[in-house]
Amino acid sequence: MARHSLLVGFGGFLPDRVVTNVELASQLDTSDEWIRARTGIACRHVAGPHDTATSMGAEAASRALSYAGLSASDIDVILVATATPDQAFPATAVRIQAEIGMISGFGYDISSACSGFVFALATADSLIRSHQANRVLVIGSEVYSRILDWSDRGTCVLFGDGAGAVILEASESDDHRGILSTHLHSDGRLRDLLYVDGAVGQPEKSGKLRMSGRDVFRHAVEKLSSSVDEVLSSCGLTRDHIDWLVPHQANIRIIEAVAKKLALPADRVVITVDRHANTSAASIPLALDEAVRDGRIRQGELVLMEALGGGLTWGTALARL
Ligand code: UT7
């Protein structure tokens, strides 16, 4: 079989502090009922003063390394998907590289907002297929609590902090496992539907997340549904072949719409949005980590990952574990 990428390590990290909807409703004109009904979210983890994209990403990376029985010196490349880096530069990837004691290879960040993990996974797979790397650590790490407008009930109830990591490893075995296909899209004409207002290049602005929720919702259902068709037909597979949907965790209603399109029962969909809320680029690797470690997803099963986020960006990845 041609050179391809196996998923061999999984790790996740969530900050200690858990904020419930009830706690938010004590500070904001919202309610537990509204948040649960419209989003499926019950609570979220929020970073403490010392948690950063680097510290959380490094912890998730260390857990993925230990899952795989590898050390930092076995890794050639670190890719970090984040919209909330510690600094504009150096990249969070090189900070994590130093943090985990990796002194060779290279690392860089990928900025595709909530789709970042899928974009990073596709890039990692390409680096492996083109013989530029044998093992790639792919991390999604986000502290959206620092870019939320905590007075905007339309956005601040939706997000949480955390990090997830996977390790891809080159293989030439004939096992039909690993990343089978990835498909990436962006449409910059839709950039104003979900964005951060300012930051490094425009310091006079707020640096806070802004979203036209209803429009993003509509695009998410439409674009993710057609992306599912695209990835399946590219592999000559049908929806009956899918064992698991591991979606980006933005809203339970978006997840259910995609699951319905795939005719997948609820127990074949990995859900964390109820407990993690939307952790942006961290949500898919956190969900994967949970479902692999608790034994739900098993070796040989076919997993569909999909995400949509600011850009707009969206993408899918199909992998046999
Ligand atoms: O990961 C990146 C991608 N992001 C997403 O995919 C998010 C996509 N969007 C969504 O998930 C949903 O659009 C939201 C959860 C953000 C909003 O749900 P919705 O069903 O689209 O509600 P809406 O924006 O249409 O608002 C309905 C009402 C409004 O009141 P009026 O104008 O009908 O009187 C809002 O002001 O709900 C109100 N509202 C709230 N009420 C209580 C908005 N936020 C809240 C809130 N608590 N937190």
Q: In CATH, which of 2.60.40.1840, 3.30.1330.10, 1.10.443.10, 3.40.47.10 is domain 4-171?
A: 3.40.47.10
Do 213 and 273 contact (CB within 8 A), yes or no?
A: no
Q: How far is the CA of 209 from the centre of ligand 1 (A)?
A: 14
Do 46 and 17 contact (CB within 8 A), yes or no?
A: yes
- Phi, psi (deg, nearest 5) at residue 280: 55, -125
10-residue block means of pLDDT along the chain (321 residues)?
A: 94 98 97 98 98 98 98 98 97 98 97 98 98 98 98 98 98 92 98 93 91 97 93 93 97 96 94 98 98 98 98 97 97
Domain segments of the chain as ranges: 4-171, 178-320
Pocket mutation for ligand 1, best pick of 28, 35, 38 (most atoms within 8 Å of C-beta): 38
Q: How far is the CA of 39 from the centre of ligand 1 (A)?
A: 8
Q: In CATH, which of 2.130.10.10, 3.40.47.10, 3.90.1150.10, 3.40.50.300 is domain 178-320?
A: 3.40.47.10
Cα→Cα distances 24→18, 28, 208, 212, Å:
11, 6, 18, 21
185 tagged catalytic: no
Is residue 214 lining ligand 1, measured as CB closer than 6 Å?
A: yes
Residue type present at position 318: L
Is residue 250 lining ligand 1, measured as CB closer than 6 Å?
A: yes
Question: Which pLDDT score is estimated for 138?
Answer: 98
Specify the ligand 1 atom closest to the Cα of 153: 48
Q: How far is the CA of 223 from the centre of ligand 1 (A)?
A: 19
Is residue 222 lining ligand 1, measured as CB closer than 6 Å?
A: no
43 tagged catalytic: no
**Closest residue by CA, ligand 1 atom 11:** 251
Question: Which pLDDT score is estimated for 199?
Answer: 79
**40 vs 165: CA distance, rounded Å:** 24
The answer to whether the predicted template modeling score (pTM) of the entire model surpasses 0.75 is yes
Question: Of residues 4, 21, 114, 251, which has the active-site annotation?
Answer: 114
* Residue 316: burial class (beta carbons within 10 Å; 0-12, 13-18, 19+): buried
Query: What kind and span of H or E run contains 234?
Result: helix 213-234
**Closest residue by CA, ligand 1 atom 25:** 214
Q: How far is the CA of 36 from the centre of ligand 1 (A)?
A: 11
Is residue 157 lining ligand 1, measured as CB closer than 6 Å?
A: yes
Point out which residues pair with 136 in neighbouring strands.
77, 168
Do 234 and 319 contact (CB within 8 A), yes or no?
A: no
Same fold, 4-171 and 178-320: yes
Is residue 212 lining ligand 1, measured as CB closer than 6 Å?
A: no
